[in-house]
Amino acid sequence: MRPRVRRLRSAAPLMLGAGVGAAAVLPPFHELSEQFFSVHMVQHELLMTVAAPLIVLGYPVAVGLRLLPRASRRSAARLARPRAVRRIGTFITNPPVAWLLHAVAIWLWHLPILFERAIHNDVVHAFQHLSFISAAVVFWWAVLRPARRARRGLSILLLFTTAIHTGVLGALMTFAHTPWYRDYASRPATAGLSPLADQQLAGMIMWIPGSLAYLIAALFIVRRWLAESEWEVARGDRPSYAIPIR
């Protein structure tokens, strides 16, 4: 395979993820999200469970450096050299820390006081979306690109627990007896959806397809782990999950 074709294939997930992220925050999603909470939820799920993992799989750092002029690449690379920058990157991509940042972003922004503030203020709304995509990229980086292969078991656990806590939040929205957010609650029924039904639909979107995305990713890691272990056994090496005997 030619080097240019190989580079394009490796960058394809990144380009697709950036396209999905842009589509989620631009018209018509943006306008529809102001009318329907369920569409707002679709925005969030596209950013966190589709765009973010695709960006991580697309080698964003390497591709980003290639897009810069050659004279600027060295300057950009120098920014990552200081020990403090590397320590911060290592800290936030540590799996438990990444899991916590992702979970806090999800739960915090769905508190009524912050969610309604984002609806009323475009700057806060943009920061909400930036928080979701940034925390999700850090989370997916930690689980899809662990520093050590031995952490893949931890990645599976973090994906499973994320599916649980996002499913709980979705279930709380689905079974709520009253709408959580006054702005959506005060709007008349549109397209046959009352404010409560709209919230219940949003909760189901987070609960079912949203949680399923994390479980599918966990199965993908398990499948990849087993395939690599079988290949190592066929080659005569000790499987990566084997315990060394002293």
pLDDT tens for each residue of 187-230: 887 878 999 999 999 999 999 999 999 999 999 999 888 877 77
For residue 190, give the DSSP letter.
B
What local confidence, expressed as pLDDT, does residue 242 receive? 43
CA distances for 98 relative to 18, 82, 90, 221, angstroms: 21, 21, 10, 17
pLDDT tens for each residue of 108-141: 999 999 999 998 899 999 999 999 999 999 999 9
| For residues 59-72, average pLDDT | 59
Are residues 223 and 208 in contact, defined by beta-carbon separation less than 8 angstroms? no
Position 243 pLDDT exceeds 70: no
pLDDT tens for each residue of 7-63: 556 678 888 999 999 999 999 888 898 899 999 999 999 999 999 999 998 876 655
What local confidence, expressed as pLDDT, does residue 239 receive? 52
Identify the weakest region by mean pLDDT among 10-19, 73-82, 102-111, 155-164.
73-82
pLDDT tens for each residue of 86-97: 788 789 999 999
Are residues 181 and 112 in contact, defined by beta-carbon separation less than 8 angstroms? yes
What local confidence, expressed as pLDDT, does residue 216 receive? 95
What local confidence, expressed as pLDDT, does residue 79 receive? 60
Closest CA to 202 of 57, 47, 40: 40
Cα(222)–Cα(228) distance, integer angstroms: 10
> What pLDDT band is residue 68 in, cutting at 50, 70 and 90?
low
For residue 146, give the DSSP letter.
-
| For residues 151-174, average pLDDT | 94
Q: Which two tokens stand for residue 110?
A: 């769905």
> What pLDDT band is residue 70 in, cutting at 50, 70 and 90?
low
Position 66 pLDDT exceeds 90: no
